[in-house]
Chain A
């Protein structure tokens, strides 16, 4: 593939680093991306097409480089290659490791994350956008093309951060990507903002969980030619959520929207409710869209609410709404009834205590840190029938028996999972739910 820059070309950055062009990696609407080398390390260089190499874009990049990345998951601009006005320029960012795959790979079933890794990826992405928004930025183009995930563990990377700018500023250079753009952008009555990001995030999450689009149902199936007029109608002027509880005109159609029909009922009611809010109230009311912390609360519980079918080992999601009314959990693969194990309830969080289950920092400190493990479910080596929780945190915990007697659970020690017992984690008391 031939690009604007030749292999071997040497480029000097504003911070006086010398980058050598290795190869062209790809091209998009705004420019090309190259692999470059500097002092034995490889980076990515985005080189703008001349008509996109604007003064405004340069100002955005200067700001992003100065402020620095909101999180290590962003492939954030870190250096600029700029000669003079009127000439093309580009920026340096970290190179994406090859074990990270695109969401398109998932949509085409070229990679198959487990439900757990899928939930982790969704959680990590949402958390990243939250960090970005908390710095006063908006992203403008959340879509398939600019994020990657590791299907083995749910780690994520977000690229194309050069469209990021302060929320509300009119300096961004993209509207977003069709199918992900909020209806008010499609209709031409709004520009990208934090609230339109929230819409795109909800679309992305729906795609990830349901493998389909939230607005593509009967109305889409009835359209013969999906041209720009049809897209404006479906995604802009007449959007109807496929599971809108009141307007049932756009239900998924068997044969066209099979994935959504298959996946919708596999997830807990609380997740479905967030999609419902996102694509009913949230369609027309940008400032009533589901915010990241609401997603994170549900996604963290989704992650810690997976149980395995005893017959076929399929991952089954605990649905509290079923448990409350004593409706059985049925395996989506083999149709057998799945017993839900004991949980520990920590405020609004629930962790199903299956073998190897983990408690994270977030469960005690409500800090949305779902990476730092503070406890794990273990077997008592002296009595394998007894299961307990091991204290992997930095603080001692207190075990509270049903008769009120208390004793310490020192760091590194474990305490049994027992009916009516509680654990005082310091910041919060966890109760076993048997």
Chain B
């Protein structure tokens, strides 16, 4: 029996979605903190692959930017999530966050960014205070069209992180996720990794969401980041011994 001819056409057209891990690798991250970050982000990759395979609307491109004394791209070019691998990061040096923002800004400019995409997702992980003048660089980043449109999440590691700075970055206090112990850090990284699918193909939007005013069914459009379902952010205070993996 001859096999029926395949229907014509190609895949459903999709837009690129750039997802960038921005990791503080300063000296204060040395030891368990950077170890947990390495473990946790690597562990999210299979789930991100799985999620991308079930998402027909986005082509998920991932990369990593690290900063300490200076900043550099760990992943030089955006990589399809299916080909993305996590290279363990080491910690040492100061916290040149401004430099990281400069490098981000250079990549979120058109070109190299394409002029047609989904909002980029930027996830910043930091445990301390920037040691350079980050404000100017952050302003520059947030003035770029793609910077402005990006969905920004920060994970505040430990008690010494500069939450005000992280809030300046996210533009939304609810997207500064507190991770005061390794278990919380793992959960927050896992939650942040779901942002890509939430941004590109938001799943059924539960009613009674914190973002909703209760009378309107429309997708909340006041802040780009609020497309995320913040109800599902793990509650840091509820994380205890039983969450130890």
A residues bordering B, Cβ < 8 Å? 1-2, 28-30, 49, 51-52, 54, 102, 104, 107-109, 112-115, 118, 141, 143-145, 160, 163, 172-179, 185-191, 207, 211-212, 221, 223-229, 231-232, 236, 256-259, 262-263, 266, 312-315, 332-333
* Interface contact A315-B119, CB-CB below 8 Å: no
* Interface contact A30-B8, CB-CB below 8 Å: no
Mostly, the B contact residues are loop
Complex Cα distance, B115 from A176, in Å, reads 29
B203's partner among A28, A49, A190, A227 (CB-CB below 8 A) is A28
B112 in the interface (beta carbon within 8 A): no
**Chain B: number of interface residues, binned into ranges:** 35 or more
* Interface contact A177-B219, CB-CB below 8 Å: no
Complex Cα distance, B118 from A259, in Å, reads 20
- Given A104-B56, A118-B7, A313-B2, the answer on whether A228 and B224 have CB atoms closer than 8 Å is yes
* Interface contact B208-A262, CB-CB below 8 Å: no
* Interface contact B56-A315, CB-CB below 8 Å: no
* Interface contact B56-A314, CB-CB below 8 Å: no
Selected A-B contacts with CB under 8 Å, 27 pairs: A28-B203, A29-B204, A30-B204, A112-B7, A113-B7, A143-B204, A175-B204, A176-B204, A176-B205, A177-B204, A178-B201, A186-B218, A186-B219, A187-B218, A188-B216, A189-B217, A225-B117, A225-B119, A226-B118, A227-B119, A227-B224, A228-B226, A258-B9, A259-B10, A262-B8, A262-B9, A315-B4
Interface hub of B5, B115, B208, B231 (most chain A Cβ within 10 A): B5
Q: Give residues of chain B (194-245) contacting chain A, Cβ–Cβ below 8 Å.
A: 201-208, 215-221, 224, 226-227, 229, 231-232, 245
Complex Cα distance, B188 from A406, in Å, reads 78
* Interface contact B118-A225, CB-CB below 8 Å: yes
* Interface contact A333-B8, CB-CB below 8 Å: yes
Complex Cα distance, B204 from A52, in Å, reads 13
* Interface contact A108-B12, CB-CB below 8 Å: yes
* Interface contact A185-B10, CB-CB below 8 Å: no
* CB closest chain-B residue, reference A1: B47
* Interface contact A29-B232, CB-CB below 8 Å: yes
* Interface contact B217-A175, CB-CB below 8 Å: yes
B residues bordering A, Cβ < 8 Å? 2, 4-13, 15, 46-47, 53-57, 115-119, 145-146, 149, 201-208, 215-221, 224, 226-227, 229, 231-232, 245
- Given A188-B218, A225-B119, A225-B145, the answer on whether A107 and B12 have CB atoms closer than 8 Å is yes
* CB closest chain-A residue, reference B218: A188
Closest 9 CB pairs of A and B: A188-B216, A188-B218, A107-B12, A107-B56, A174-B204, A259-B9, A29-B203, A225-B149, A114-B4
**Contact partners of B218 in chain A: CB under 8 A:** 185-188, 232, 236
- Given A29-B232, A212-B13, A259-B10, the answer on whether A231 and B5 have CB atoms closer than 8 Å is no
**Contact partners of A225 in chain B: CB under 8 A:** 117-119, 145-146, 149
* Interface contact B219-A29, CB-CB below 8 Å: no
Question: Within the complex, what minimum Cβ distance (angstroms) separates B155 from chain A?
Answer: 18
* CB closest chain-B residue, reference A174: B204
**Contact partners of B46 in chain A: CB under 8 A:** 1
* Interface contact B8-A263, CB-CB below 8 Å: yes
**Contact partners of A313 in chain B: CB under 8 A:** 2, 4-5
**Contact partners of B12 in chain A: CB under 8 A:** 107-108, 207, 211-212, 259
Question: Within the complex, what minimum Cβ distance (angstroms) separates A160 from chain B?
Answer: 8
Complex Cα distance, B146 from A26, in Å, reads 32
Known: A227-B119, A313-B2. 10 other contacts (CB 8 A): A2-B245, A30-B206, A114-B4, A160-B204, A177-B204, A178-B201, A186-B217, A211-B11, A226-B118, A227-B149
A174's partner among B8, B146, B207, B231 (CB-CB below 8 A) is B207
* CB closest chain-A residue, reference B210: A51
* Interface contact A228-B204, CB-CB below 8 Å: no
Question: Within the complex, what minimum Cβ distance (angstroms) separates B215 from chain A?
Answer: 8
**Contact partners of B55 in chain A: CB under 8 A:** 104
Complex Cα distance, B164 from A317, in Å, reads 63
**Contact partners of B226 in chain A: CB under 8 A:** 228
* Interface contact B47-A145, CB-CB below 8 Å: no
- Given A177-B202, A224-B115, the answer on whether A107 and B11 have CB atoms closer than 8 Å is yes
Question: Within the complex, what minimum Cβ distance (angstroms) separates B114 from chain A?
Answer: 9
* CB closest chain-A residue, reference B200: A226
* Interface contact A108-B11, CB-CB below 8 Å: yes
Interface hub of B203, B208, B215, B231 (most chain A Cβ within 10 A): B203
- Given A211-B12, A263-B8, the answer on whether A174 and B219 have CB atoms closer than 8 Å is no
**Contact partners of B224 in chain A: CB under 8 A:** 227-229
**Contact partners of B11 in chain A: CB under 8 A:** 107-109, 211
* Interface contact A333-B5, CB-CB below 8 Å: yes
Complex Cα distance, B11 from A223, in Å, reads 20
* Interface contact B7-A29, CB-CB below 8 Å: no
Question: Within the complex, what minimum Cβ distance (angstroms) separates B184 from chain A?
Answer: 14
B206's partner among A52, A113, A312 (CB-CB below 8 A) is A52
Complex Cα distance, B153 from A65, in Å, reads 41
* Interface contact A232-B56, CB-CB below 8 Å: no
Complex Cα distance, B100 from A171, in Å, reads 47
Complex Cα distance, B11 from A315, in Å, reads 20
* Interface contact B5-A315, CB-CB below 8 Å: yes
B219's partner among A173, A189, A224, A232 (CB-CB below 8 A) is A232
- Given A188-B216, A225-B117, the answer on whether A145 and B5 have CB atoms closer than 8 Å is no
A29's partner among B2, B227, B229 (CB-CB below 8 A) is B229
**Contact partners of A107 in chain B: CB under 8 A:** 11-12, 56
Complex Cα distance, B145 from A37, in Å, reads 52
**Contact partners of B205 in chain A: CB under 8 A:** 29, 174-178
**Contact partners of B203 in chain A: CB under 8 A:** 28-29, 145, 177
